[in-house]
Amino acid sequence: MGREAAGFLIAGTKGPRLYFLVCDAPAESAGGAEKVSSQADLAQVSPGFAGAGHNKEKKVNSRFTFYTAALAAAGLFSTGAAWAQSPAAAVSTAAGKVGVINIRQAIVTTAEGKQASAELQSQFASRQTEIENMSKQVNDLRQRLAACEGKCSQEEIARLTTQGQRLTQQLDRKQNEYQEDVNAAQGEVVDRIGRKMVDVLDRYSRENGYSVVLDSSAQNTPILYASNQIDLTQDIIRLYDQAYPVKAGAAPAAKPATPKPATPTPTKP
């Protein structure tokens, strides 16, 4: 599926620094963005329902994966400095060190990102199941229509075709709504984590003498080679988790200890 390099703006200007972090949006119709979830794909049926011979389906990847695009125009992070991937030992330049970071991986791998992914899966699970069931109904109708060929009356064929068209339209509408809602929810998460991660990376880079940090996950920032020694991804994930620890869920109330049975008083002879 083709992608456009534009999407949700998740960081704006801050002081003299230019922060841009956008969320990739696939080149589909409104609401057709990448899906999220580590579950099975959904089968999306094409708008026109036809019986035997027309069994085209679009696969809707329902995986809840956070995605971000480039840090604007080559990933500018600091005054006059293009940030590239690479944390630890960095290459020195006339102005300072050069580093590289995989922003997509960093956002997804933080404890907050993992927690948000699980929450989104739970939030959209029932709707995903509903779409899967509707898709199965459409496929069942197709099979029934195919089996009817040369055996059923024209009235029966027309009835099944009309039923399939109606159900397909409902399925398309629900899928579009589902995708739009998933994209909006993802955008909020990426925006929340991305803004804070930009601050963590900015602080880390200033403290460690980095002039340039490139985003290796950005499509418009091709990096032909980068040593692992200048990859800052894991360092930024670690620092982010330290700065923004995930709040653990309330621990279940401890069961009161079962009182020991009283020791019987020995009977005197």
| Residue 120 CB-density burial (10 A; 0-12 exposed, 13-18 middle, 19+ buried) | buried
pLDDT digits (tens, 9 = 90+) for 218-253: 877 778 888 889 999 999 999 999 999 998 753 333
User: What is the rounded distance in angstroms from the CA atom of residue 126 to the CA atom of residue 140?
Assistant: 21
Is 144's pLDDT higher than 60? yes
Q: Left, alpha or beta for 11 (phi > 0: left; psi -120 to 50: alpha)? A: beta
Report the pLDDT value the prediction gives residue 122, as an integer from 0 to 100: 96
Query: For residues 49 and 172, is the Cβ–Cβ distance under 8 A?
Result: no
pLDDT digits (tens, 9 = 90+) for 21-78: 333 333 333 343 333 333 333 233 333 455 443 333 333 333 333 333 333 322 333 3
Report the pLDDT value the prediction gives residue 249, as an integer from 0 to 100: 57
Is 210's pLDDT higher than 90? yes
Task: Enter the pTM of the model.
Answer: 0.56
Report the pLDDT value the prediction gives residue 16, as an integer from 0 to 100: 30
